[in-house]
A and B are shown apart, each in its own frame.
Chain A
Amino acid sequence: MRFSIYRYDPGKDKKPYMQDYDIVLDVVDKMLLDALIRIKSVDDSLSLRRSCREGVCGSDGMNINGRNGLACITPIKDLKEPVVLRPLPGLPVIRDLIVDMTQFFKQYHSIKPYLINNEPPPETERLQSPEERAEIDGTYECILCACCSTACPSFWWNPDKFVGPAGLLQAYRFLADSRDQATNERLDNLEDPYRLFRCHSIMNCVDSCPKGLNPTKAIGKIKNMLIRRTI
């Protein structure tokens, strides 16, 4: 099978280049990550992140034939040859397919991704009704692989100011949580032309999410909450 992979080692290479690989795959190689590990057994200089190999850790996000996704849950048989692999777009490249996620996590931390409740914790747990619990479905499943944020042009142009789809999905996860008491502070933090309103609902995030989540819908709900607060 033919692959064309982005290679860049800042210590050695003047600029990035694409390297072609022709690899004979084994029958047990079902996912793209299996193929990459097969390539690594031939050329161990190829660098990539991976860990759980089942779409849970979010380490092996990369640009596969022009679309962001996780190598470990992308079936080889669905890919057109040559398979063009590049690092996630818009983030600084550390080496080959490894990107520097600092900016991404900075935005994630800026929305305070934890429950804020100043009441003393009850003896057992903070109860929710099934309906209240259902509201955070489709948000808590995010694995922070950065496929969505790095597919978002608004995040490419303003990564230092725009929270990005992944961060905003998590912002809504806590806005929607009936146990959280910081709704107003969270909305104050997001009421900003850069932090929230750089989203123009082009839905690249929905298209690229390997977990099938919908950040655009969550962002719409945040806008809805802000409007309800204003008028």
Chain B
Amino acid sequence: MVKRIVIGAHYGSRDWLVQRITAVIMIFYVLLLISVILISAPHDYVAWKKIFGNQWIRITSLLFFLSLCWHAWIGMRNILMDYVHKTSIRLTTQILIILSLLFYIVLFFETLWS
């Protein structure tokens, strides 16, 4: 196969925007969670369970977690594009990252909705 420098994938700006939006969502969630914990001051497992039993906390937590995964995917891909120059290793690592993020999402549902 010819070894030419191939560029021109025509994507990037949407990911750049998504990275910023997800970051803002995460900031708001962290502030929300800190204030909820300060207000209700949970001391035992039952109190913690009660906080995350609230439907709104669950939904915002889900929003936060999906933002986190999306943000992490773009960031990790950026790091790989910067430093890993062998295409096969880059692709393998990217697949591993996607699989582990999917695993974390399943784990997240398992924790909050079971």
Binding site for B on A (CB under 8 A): 153-154, 157-158, 160-161, 188-189, 191-198, 200, 223, 226-227, 229-231
Contacts and interface: CB of A to CB of B under 8 A. Distances in A.
Given A154-B82, A161-B5, A198-B82, A192 B10 contact: yes
Interface of B: 5, 7-17, 78, 81-83, 85
A223 B16 contact: yes
Contacts of A188: 10
B5 A192 contact: no
Nearest to A154: B82
A153 B17 CA distance: 22
A160 B16 CA distance: 22
Contacts, number: 54
Contacts of B83: 157
A161 B7 contact: yes
Contacts of B82: 153-154, 157-158, 198
B13 A194 contact: no
A194 B7 contact: yes
Contact of B12 (A161, A189, A196, A229): A196
Contact of B81 (A189, A191, A194, A223): A194
B13 A195 contact: no
A199 to B, nearest CB: 10
A197 B14 CA distance: 11
A230 B7 contact: no
Nearest to B8: A192
Contacts of A157: 82-83, 85
Nearest to B83: A157
A194 B5 CA distance: 11
A227 B82 CA distance: 23
A227 B5 contact: no
A198 B10 contact: no
Contacts of A226: 12-13
8 contacts: A154-B82, A160-B5, A191-B10, A192-B7, A193-B11, A193-B81, A226-B12, A230-B14
Given A194-B7, A226-B12, 7 more contacts: A153-B82, A191-B11, A194-B81, A195-B7, A197-B12, A198-B81, A230-B17
A191 B7 contact: no
Contacts of A161: 5, 7
A231 to B, nearest CB: 8
A191 B78 contact: no
Given A157-B83, A158-B82, A200-B78, A191 B13 contact: yes
Interface centre among B14, B81, B85 (most CB of A within 10 A): B81
B15 A227 contact: no
A194 B7 CA distance: 7
Contact of A193 (B5, B12, B85): B12
A50 B59 CA distance: 64
B66 to A, nearest CB: 20
Contacts of A196: 12
